[in-house]
A and B are shown apart, each in its own frame.
Chain A
Amino acid sequence: MNCRSVVLEVTVEARQVEEAMLSLLHTILLHRSSGKFHYKKEGTYSIGTVGTVDIDCDFIDFTFVRISSEELDRVIRKAVSEFKDALSNSGSDGVGQISLEFYQKKKSRWPFSDECIPWEVWSIKVNVVNLANEQERQICREKVGEKLGDKVINIVEVINRHEYLPKMPTQSEVDNVFDTSLKDVQPYLHKITYQITDSLGTSVSTTMRRLLKDTLAL
């Protein structure tokens, strides 16, 4: 199976990194999350309700919609915060990339561990700029807001092509497709990783794993 790969690129000020990443990651997850499944007898299931929250950015003229789930928000914020710290520690010319990968688990027989097969990867490349004065920052606020709007339109365009999505699983298979650890929503299994390229051009690769059931499975 081919993994669908989408690359988005943004240029932001250092203080805008966090909100820019949150807005795009949450927009993607909004579309890649479902309500909680409740399996009934005879293989049928019902789906819970997903709420949404409007979030105004403080450093960007932009408002985005995220799923109403504090748990999910905490996890994403933690990942973005680590990415932002890594980016700022790398030096002023830092370029970084944060990736949101959706995958399915394929159970393997003992002694082999389960395979994680990605089916969609969203990569957001970030270029951090430094601005000299307040007027430039004000312009940047608006411009970055417009750019993020364009990225949201790109994301929506890709998602609405309705290309490959994992099949809806049976009850026994649901953990291979969805992250069922959250109590109010059920996103597809995903992980967030990032890479930082510092000004010297050397690549410092750091992987951060979300706390998932599979890391505890073994």
Chain B
Amino acid sequence: MEEINRHAKADGRVKMDSDLSPQDKKDLDKFIKFFALKTVQVIVQARLGEKICTRSSSSPTGSDWFNLAIKDIPEVTLEAKKALGGQLPGIGRSMCVEISLKTSEGDSMELETWCLEMNEKCDKDIKVSYTVYNRLSVLLKSLLAITRVTPAYKLSRKQGHNYVILYRIYFGEVQLSGLGEGFQTVRVGVVSTPVGTLTLSCAYRTNLAFMSNRQFDRSAPIMGIIVDHFVDPPCSNQRPANMGHPCNYRAPDEEDGSPFAGVQDSQEVCTTSFSTSPPSQLYSSRLYYQPSAELCHPAANPNQALHAGKEGGVALAPVQPHGVDAHLTVEHTPNTPGSSGDDVGLSQSGEGKRDGGRRSDSPSDPVESLNEFTRKVGAFVNKPSSEITAASLDLPFAAFAPRGLESEEDDLMVQPPASPPCPSPLQASLHSQGSEGSGQQDDFVMVDFKPAFSKDDLLPMDLGTFYREFQNPPQLASLSLHISSQSMADDLDSLPEKLALYEKNIDEFDAFVDMLH
């Protein structure tokens, strides 16, 4: 007698699995479940920023699903199971792993979405325990290969100092809108089963210009989070598991110790190591501009894209933004094509660009921003320096935060102003406002100061901060108003005595005056 399994589908139709034995059905469900879990492991591990190495074993251990040595990071499995909620990927119920990037300032961008979907096309004749299982194994191998090929892989290998890579698992409808325009899709593979065809694919962003629809919530920067996902690998040539370098950037007002501060519940950090390699030039520049020309691939020359719309004369966007004080020697940015020494130094005056946009990696900038305001009197002042209080210095670039929150329309990160044509650098420095386009008179360009030969070690008192603070020494006490007023009071007090003395000697004075005639 044929056993008939009925499944009620979401739309009310009934599907007959008349050819699938209960054992096969049970096996198939198990295969799909563990395939989904292993898929998540492979994707997340490929975005941890480290090379993966596992050992082959000729003796089957019985615990390696699909005959592949794929470790299980417990937290990842937990997240995956939570997202699945006891269900399996099925028709209309896709399992998605979203990989995104989050900068140290809290801005984030979706990079790719991996989808495990099932459609209705069934292959009733296929053998579950053999063919389906082996094909799922091949599909996992393909996933291993493809995860190293999409653009997010290179980004994840460079994560640490400026940004981290996050993952989010969700179940249900695939959401691709966060990937920006022109995203590409790569299909990893398909496996037919008696209940449907499983498809594994990846949609990845190609436009890596910084999108900031939701980036302006001022949540605490992500960099305070360290989650150590690694377990000890069997391979002897792999570096030890606890190699995560401690995060060396924390927002001053962030509490220590809480590992998940600032992360939404549904997201988890996918990395442990924070490398000390130089910050990614790609991202330090992309944070500041939303260029009209699109960056289609990180390998494309970011400098050229960022300079779209601007004249080449003033290299406003050095890839490593080196703020230069007008009084100081100009710094060269060798990575910026076409930049000259003069250009960099005077860029702060000329363009009136996004003042918030020059945020660099250094958190020592609050003091520097204060000094910027106090020093540039006459040419650049648009806010009295009293607005900048000591309290606001606790947050980096806090001087800009209130303004940014108040009027997003004016915020230059969201609404980039049109790039004005750049005058000659010299003219730009002397006529800072005249050379700007209209409507930008109020903008003050905050340029980070990075002194030459100084390491960006983010200590509370680094060379830049030291320099800024001691550039404006306090006035001499003897010149202060208080002292001078006191001496005048003394003079006034002593006046009657002096007058009395002079009256006593009036004859002498008269004789002297007669002598002069």
Contacts and interface: CB of A to CB of B under 8 A. Distances in A.
Interface stretch (A44-52, A77-85, A98-106, A201-209): A44-52
B371 to A, nearest CB: 39
Given A30-B141, A54-B53, A49 B64 contact: yes
A213 to B, nearest CB: 17
Contacts of B157: 63
Given A49-B56, A68-B56, A68-B69, A27 B145 contact: yes
Nearest to B147: A65
A27 B148 CA distance: 11
Contacts of B130: 168
B135 A48 contact: no
Interface in B130-153: 130, 135, 138-139, 141-142, 144-146, 148-150, 153
A48 B149 contact: no
Contacts of A34: 67
Contact of B58 (A55, A65, A153, A183): A183
B189 to A, nearest CB: 3
Among A50, A68, A184, the one with the most B-chain Cβ atoms within 10 Å of its Cβ is A50
Given A46-B60, A51-B57, A160-B188, A30 B145 contact: yes
A149 B149 contact: yes
A132 interface: no
Contacts of B188: 156, 160
The secondary-structure label for the interface of chain A is mixed
B335 interface: no
A162 interface: yes
Contact of B67 (A35, A54, A146, A159): A35
Contact of B55 (A51, A61, A63, A162): A51
A35 to B, nearest CB: 5
A61 B148 CA distance: 11
Given A56-B51, A157-B187, A160-B138, A50 B60 contact: no
Contacts of B58: 35-36, 38, 48, 183-185
B507 to A, nearest CB: 96
Contact of B69 (A52, A55, A142, A146): A52
Interface string B162-195: 0000000000000000000000001111110000
Contacts of A36: 58
Contacts of B191: 162
B56 A50 contact: yes
**Category for how many chain B residues contact A:** 35 or more
Nearest to A183: B58
Contacts of A162: 135, 138, 191
A218 interface: no
Among B130, B146, B149, the one with the most A-chain Cβ atoms within 10 Å of its Cβ is B149
Nearest to A28: B145
A67 B55 CA distance: 9
Contact of B60 (A47, A61, A160): A47
A65 B148 contact: yes
B67 A30 contact: no
Given A30-B145, A35-B67, A63-B153, A51 B190 contact: no
Among A47, A67, A185, the one with the most B-chain Cβ atoms within 10 Å of its Cβ is A47
Nearest to B139: A160
Contacts of B57: 35, 48-49, 51, 184
B237 to A, nearest CB: 9
Given A54-B53, A153-B186, A35 B60 contact: yes
A126 to B, nearest CB: 20
Given A35-B67, A61-B299, A68 B146 contact: no
Contacts of A160: 138-139, 142, 187-190
Interface in A156-192: 156-157, 159-160, 162, 168, 183-185
Interface in B275-293: none
Contact of B52 (A46, A54, A142, A145): A54
A51 B144 CA distance: 11
A43 B240 CA distance: 42
Contacts of B56: 35, 48-51, 67-69, 184-185
A7 B60 CA distance: 35
Contacts of B144: 30, 52, 65
B142 A159 contact: yes
A175 B69 CA distance: 25
Interface string B370-411: 000000000000000000000000000000000000000000
A162 B139 CA distance: 10
A50 B149 CA distance: 21
Contacts of B141: 30-31, 52
Interface in B306-342: none
Nearest to A26: B145
B60 A64 contact: no
Nearest to A142: B299
A156 B191 CA distance: 13
A67 B191 CA distance: 22
Contact of B54 (A38, A51, A56, A61): A51
A54 B42 CA distance: 12
A142 B298 CA distance: 10
B232 to A, nearest CB: 15
A49 B135 contact: no
A49 B61 contact: yes
B55 to A, nearest CB: 4
Among B59, B139, B141, the one with the most A-chain Cβ atoms within 10 Å of its Cβ is B141
A47 B67 contact: yes
A49 B69 CA distance: 6
B53 A153 contact: no
A216 interface: no
18 contacts: A35-B58, A49-B64, A50-B67, A50-B68, A52-B54, A53-B51, A63-B157, A65-B145, A68-B54, A149-B150, A152-B146, A152-B149, A156-B145, A157-B187, A160-B138, A160-B139, A160-B188, A162-B138
Interface of B: 51-61, 64, 67-69, 130, 135, 138-139, 141-142, 144-146, 148-150, 153-154, 157, 186-191, 235, 297, 299
Given A48-B56, A159-B138, 8 more contacts: A27-B145, A49-B56, A51-B68, A52-B68, A61-B154, A64-B145, A149-B149, A152-B146
The 3 A-B residue pairs with the shortest CB-CB distance in the complex, in nearest-first order: A160-B189, A51-B54, A54-B51
